[in-house]
Amino acid sequence: MADPRVMVLEDDMLVALDVQMTLESHGFGNVVVCQNVTEAIEHMKSGTPDAAVLDIFLSHDQTSEEVVRELSARECPYVFLTSATDLPESFGPFLEKAGRVQKPFVDQELVRAVDRLLAQPFA
């Protein structure tokens, strides 16, 4: 895959920019940041990303569940980037499919997680 498209869903702009810069500095040239569910769903109207990095809890009492369901329907692999330890029960089936990177993240751990997403077919 020459230039995989990676979508990042993160409501904290500093964290989002850190994720974007980390991925770009490791060769991912097509990283799109979305700050809320609406932006992410709108972005996916132009095509399915090759991989996604998702925060679970977003601002305004939102979660990324709607985006996860859409990515799953499109067979797009994703990894959760979260500091949360108490996760909603509704995320149970999605957590089984996805990896998880703990915030604050270590650059290499995030890059390895995205590399794994791109290397394996969606399960």
pTM, entire model: 0.94
User: Averaged over 25-40, what is the pLDDT?
Assistant: 97
pLDDT of res. 123: 62
99-102 and 51-54 as β-strands: parallel, antiparallel, unpaired?
Answer: unpaired
pLDDT in tens, 67-80: 999 999 999 999 99
Cβ neighbors of 4 (< 8 A, separation 6 or more) are 28, 30, 50, 51, 118
* Residue 97 pLDDT level (bands cut at 50, 70, 90): confident
pLDDT of res. 86: 81
Average pLDDT, the chain: 93
Domain architecture of the chain: domains with CATH: 5-90 (3.40.50.2300)
